[in-house]
A and B are shown apart, each in its own frame.
Chain A
Amino acid sequence: MVALAISWLKDADQALLAAKNQGKAALLDFSAAPQ
């Protein structure tokens, strides 16, 4: 997954809540990539 210029949240529930409030889809990226 390319992470360029994307503000990733680190909490699934926070993303789901924001998605609900903004009427957008949430994208949950489950990763094991080196941080």
Chain B
Amino acid sequence: MNFISSHFIPAKIHIKEQPQTFKRFGAQWTPTILVMTPNGEEAHRIEGFLGVDDMLAQLELGLGKSLFKMEKYAEAEKHFRAVVQQYPASEAAPQALYWAGVSAYKATNDPGKLKETALAEQKKYPQSEWAKKASVWAG
């Protein structure tokens, strides 16, 4: 799990020791995992148990979202693309593909990036909500 140590400052908060911290961050169920930006803003929330690959995909997605919130769009896109490439069957992948397209658009202002993303969503994940959300860019 070097991925976690390499990319995050991790903290584990136990319900019996710090119920007030649960309340402060709105953690109403366990496990709940929050990815917070360096500015202390919540970027991504993971609720419920996941297997290793799905968890790593969610953490990579969260890392991308954190960078996106920091307006580091090119770096964010790399992490979103990594989710799609390394964990293509994960639940996180369609969302990551969507945000990869948005990041590419934000970095370049090229609307063609959004159209490419819509087509890729339709091809790879046609049943996902993210394909539906991206479909508006296909025209």
Contact = CB atoms under 8 A, between A and B. Distances in A.
Interface of A: 1-12, 14-16, 18-20, 22-33, 35
Contacts of B14: 10, 31-33, 35
A23 B38 contact: yes
B63 A29 contact: no
Residue among A11, A28, A31, A35 with the most chain B CB within 10 A? A28
A22 B13 CA distance: 21
Contacts of A31: 12-15, 30-31
B40 A8 contact: no
- Chain B at the A interface: SS class: mixed
Interface string B1-24: 110110111111111111001101
A12 B9 contact: no
A15 B27 contact: no
Given A16-B36, A26-B36, A27-B59, A11 B1 contact: no
A25 B34 CA distance: 10
B9 A2 contact: no
